[in-house]
Amino acid sequence: MSTPIKTAHKCVKFQPLQLRCEWNGCQVILADLSQFYEHLSNHFYALTPENSLSCKWDNCTFVCQNGVDLFRHLNFHGYHTKIKWWGLLCHQEIQLGECHNPNNRNMIPELPHSFKCQWSDCSMVFENADQFFIHVYDHAVLSEKEVLENGKIVFSCHWTGCKYYYDTQGKTSACVARSKLKDHTRSHTKEKCYACPWCGNLYVNKTKFTDHFDRQAAEETHSFQCTHCSRTFLTERILKDHMRQHVNHYKCPKCEMTCPNPSSLKHHIRYKHSDERPYACSYCPYKSKEPYDLQVHATFHRNDLLYKCHVKDCDYVVRSLQNL
């Protein structure tokens, strides 16, 4: 019997939203995105000076130096909540497997800078990721066709330094071309479209999102094996992604290490060859090389993340439930 194809019956982005505020135990649920962001803004403006430098979102350890950084961070929690909801709907509709890493569902990326549009003749700056993405989309959907010297009719990206254009080949409609250009802008904005509702990981498209669960499938369900290391995988696509890791094209300039991509090379150099620790703890002298390391460290300063033994007269306290 053939395996049924997993398909969603309706685009999750057109289904009703359920956006839960997790700021300091709030738990309000709203269906309107604009109202949700307004609600988050009210929390921000209600902060008092003594507690304005730390995020109160559930399971978030973020601390910062000024209110603008916190406002940007809080808005990203709102955006993250939206795409986690889309992720949950997608997970339910196409019956994906389980996520086995439920500990970091509200861990979001470090956002040290405002979101700045770099489209030609535009210098708009945003502290809300959603507004930034929509703004850049507008540039794409309002683009006009251009005729190159060779006669090609194209729709061009005017992001600073980008030479991408979509060639209509004289056949594609302007609507389709603008849609392709809109998709391309994500390479500049770094927009993610889905997030895992259990671990919080963000993904650029539905394919990457579903791969996240397929990678965690039980080994007995795997049908594809790597010829280099004998690891097995659920799908051929994940196998191909894995096999690229066996081909390292990026060599470290400081040692003999080779890496499969620029990102892993940058990570290697930072940890093995650099003493720079730019991320400082607000409570102690600790400094880290990566934002994630600082976020993990910050949990040691939070009393609300402690687990206490409930046996009478026992004062045993630990920082992880499994050690209790």
Transcribe 131-149 into DSSP letters: HHHHHHHHHHHT---EE-T
pLDDT at residue 190 tops 90: yes
User: Taking residues 154-182, what's their average pLDDT?
Assistant: 92
Single pTM value for the model: 0.70
User: Taking residues 274-284, what's their average pLDDT?
Assistant: 87
Question: Residue 307's pLDDT is what?
Answer: 65
CA distance 86 to 98: 16
pLDDT at residue 232 tops 90: no
Question: Residue 302's pLDDT is what?
Answer: 67
Question: Residue 4's pLDDT is what?
Answer: 41
List strand residue ranges (DSSP E) for the chain, in order: 19-20, 29-30, 115-116, 125-126, 146-147, 153-156, 165-167, 194-195, 202-203, 224-225, 232-233, 250-251, 258-259, 279-280, 287-288, 307-308, 317-318
219: Cβ–Cβ under 8 A, 6 or more apart, which residues? 232
CA distance 268 to 266: 5
Question: Residue 184's pLDDT is what?
Answer: 96
Looking at per-residue pLDDT, the higher value among 62 and 230 belongs to 62
Report pLDDT digits (tens) over 58-73. Answer: 999 898 888 999 999 9
Question: Residue 65's pLDDT is what?
Answer: 82
Are 252 and 264 a contacting pair, CB within 8 Å?
Answer: no
Task: Using alpha carbons, select from 233, 190, 193 the residue that is nearest to residue 90.
Answer: 193
Adjacent-strand bridge partners of 78: none
pLDDT at residue 132 tops 90: yes
In this structure, the strands spanning 279-280 and 258-259 are unpaired
Q: Is the dihedral of CA 106, 112, 114, 120 positive or negative?
A: negative
3-state secondary structure of 111: coil
Question: Residue 179's pLDDT is what?
Answer: 93
Per-residue tokens: 79: 């955006």
Are 19 and 26 a contacting pair, CB within 8 Å?
Answer: no
Question: Residue 322's pLDDT is what?
Answer: 56
pLDDT at residue 5 tops 60: no
Most confident among 99-103, 208-212, 307-311 (mean pLDDT): 208-212
Percent of the chain topping pLDDT 70: 87
Report pLDDT digits (tens) over 12-30. Answer: 888 999 999 999 999 999 9
DSSP 197-217: TTT--EESSHHHHHHHHHTTS
Looking at per-residue pLDDT, the higher value among 4 and 130 belongs to 130
Adjacent-strand bridge partners of 202: 195
Report pLDDT digits (tens) over 83-131. Answer: 999 999 999 998 888 888 877 889 999 998 999 999 999 999 999 999 9
Write the single-letter amino acid at 298: A
Contacts by residues 50-54 (CB-CB < 8 Å, ≥ 24 positions apart): 53/282
User: Taking residues 232-236, what's their average pLDDT?
Assistant: 72
Looking at per-residue pLDDT, the higher value among 86 and 299 belongs to 86
Of the pLDDT bands very low, low, confident and very high (cuts 50, 70, 90), residue 297 is: confident
Report pLDDT digits (tens) over 27-64. Answer: 999 999 999 999 999 999 998 776 668 899 999 989 88
Domain boundaries, the chain: 12-111+191-216, 115-189, 217-247, 279-323
Task: Using alpha carbons, select from 180, 149, 176 the residue that is nearest to residue 164.
Answer: 180
Looking at per-residue pLDDT, the higher value among 283 and 60 belongs to 60
